Amino acid sequence: MQKEVLLNSIELENCVRSLTNTFIQRWDLYPLQLNDGSYVCIKKTLTMSHILSHLKGEITLGCYVLNEQSEARFIVFDADDQPTWDRLIQMSTTLSQRDIPSYLETSRRGGHLWIFFWKSIPGKTARSFGKRLLKQFDFSTLELFPKQNELKTGPGSLVRLPFGIHRKTGERYGFITPDGKALANKTEDQINILTNPCMVTERAFRKIMHDPLSFDQKPVPIPIQESSESLSSRIKDSITVYDFVCRYVDISPTGRGLCPFHDDQHESFAVNLDENYWCCFAECGGGSIIDFWMKWKSCDFKSAIRDLAHILL
Ligand SMILES: [Zn+2]
């Protein structure tokens, strides 16, 4: 008999609650794993008793990564083979040194790395954080969940809800530490740890988003005779408006903040992440990082170019 089943009902109830708090993003529908390992979307309300059955191993659930508002509270990297998994474990250790806590969960062929955020953030922001990590670790082939920036037709990507039994292998996979030991000996203790997972703070998040990408920014010598036109486009190509402006203005991951150019009480300052420009809704202006610098330093175009070439190139 499996020891796992010996939990009393109160302990099980607590486990169910913990699992839902940490992993369940929506209740209006849920993914159910079939015996071949694939999932179907059940368009019925998810209930606590489903989660209970999942823990008991009677059914196996997945969890959708985005909620109905296309927000994510976590991202997951999926390693499908042993070498990739080994690298992912390494990455987890390095991340913790950079204040990015993460959790390693074993799976059929490799494993998942879970990273939790301090709050739900737009799927697009979560993905750009994930992609940035992958770039910094030169790890472009790794699968990142959510796979969608935002939901359009269906509920989007899902991952296996932890602590269930994989229908295909019949095994229950748990969380491990980077040195390969179980995160805790018993499943319920692992669940307890995941009840309040260590999360990426807003501060650590921003730091990752603003750090230079380790692998792609080699200094390029500036030719003496370069025209200011080509120099200005090189400056603009060297960094996004968001990444640059963040160094000087306190803005949220979605690009809003108090305008540094007027006495602002309403977060009038915004960076458009898609179109790569900044603006102030109280008419302080807007544009590229060169426009920003001219305003910031109260200087002309020529000195802005000179300063920025020095800072960025
Ligand atoms: Zn302003």
Mean pLDDT, residues 25-38 taken together: 94
Grade residue 273 by pLDDT with cuts at 50, 70 and 90.
very high
How many Å lie between the centroid of ligand 1 and the Cα of residue 286? 9
> How high is the pLDDT of residue 12?
85
Q: Cα of 274 to ligand 1 centre, how many Å?
A: 21
Tens digits of per-residue pLDDT, 74-103?
999 999 999 999 999 999 999 998 889 999
Does residue 161 carry a pLDDT above 70?
yes
Per-residue pLDDT tens digits for 185-195: 988 899 999 99
Predicted TM-score of the model (pTM): 0.68
pLDDT at position 212 is: 57
Q: How confident is the model at residue 221 (pLDDT cuts 50, 70, 90)?
A: very low
**Would you say the C-alpha torsion 291, 293, 297, 299 has a positive or negative sign?**
negative
pLDDT digits (tens, 9 = 90+) for 134-155: 988 888 778 999 999 999 989 9
CA of 282 to the centre of ligand 1 (A): 5
pLDDT over 90, % of the chain: 67
Residue 15 has a CB neighbour count (10 Å cut-off) of 22
Whole-angstrom CA distances from 204 to 48, 101, 116, 117 are 34, 10, 12, 10
CA of 267 to the centre of ligand 1 (A): 9
What distance in angstroms lies between residue 284's CA and the mean position of ligand 1's atoms?
4
Mean pLDDT estimate for the chain: 89
Q: What is the pLDDT of residue 226?
A: 67
Domains of the chain from N-terminus onward: 3-207 (3.90.920), 228-312 (3.90.580.10)
What's the 253 CA to ligand 1 centre distance in angstroms?
A: 19
Report CA(6)–ligand 1 centroid distance (Å).
Answer: 62
Confidence of residue 2 (pLDDT cuts 50, 70, 90): very low
| 229-261 per-position pLDDT tens digit | 788 999 999 999 999 998 888 899 999 999 999
Distance of CA 38 to CAs 41, 113, 152, 167, Å? 10, 20, 22, 9
Confidence tier at 11 by pLDDT (50, 70, 90)? confident
Q: How confident is the model at residue 9 (pLDDT cuts 50, 70, 90)?
A: confident
Rounded-to-integer distance, Cα 167 and Cα 163, Å: 12
The CA 98 to ligand 1 mean position distance, Å, reads 33
Mean pLDDT of 283-306: 92
Task: Give the DSSP per-residue string, 63-117.
Answer: EESB-TTSEEEEEEEEE-SHHHHHHHHHHHHHHHHTT---EEEE-SSSEEEEEEE
Rounded CA-CA distance 153/28 in Å is: 15
Predicted confidence at residue 21, as pLDDT, reads: 92
Residues 139/87, Cβ–Cβ less than 8 Å: yes
Average the pLDDT over 14-23 and give the result: 91
Going from the Cα of 212 to the center of ligand 1, the distance in angstroms, rounded, reads: 27
Q: Measured in angstroms, how far is the CA atom of residue 312 from the centroid of ligand 1? A: 25
pLDDT of residue 252: 92
> Under 8 Å CB-to-CB from 48, ≥6 apart: which residues?
16, 17, 20
Q: Which residue(s) pair with 112 in the sheet?
A: 78, 105
Q: Amino acid letter at 281?
A: F
Residues having C-beta closer than 5 Å to ion ligand 1: 259, 261-262, 280, 282, 284
Question: 60: CA distance to ligand 1 center in Å?
Answer: 52
CA of 263 to the centre of ligand 1 (A): 7
CA distance 242 to 279: 11
Looking at residue 276, what is its pLDDT? 94
- Ligand 1 centroid from CA 227, angstroms: 31
Distance 299 CA to ligand 1 centre (A): 17
Phi-psi region of 147 (alpha: psi -120 to 50; beta: other; left: phi over 0): alpha
Ligand 1 mean position, distance from CA 295 (Å) = 11
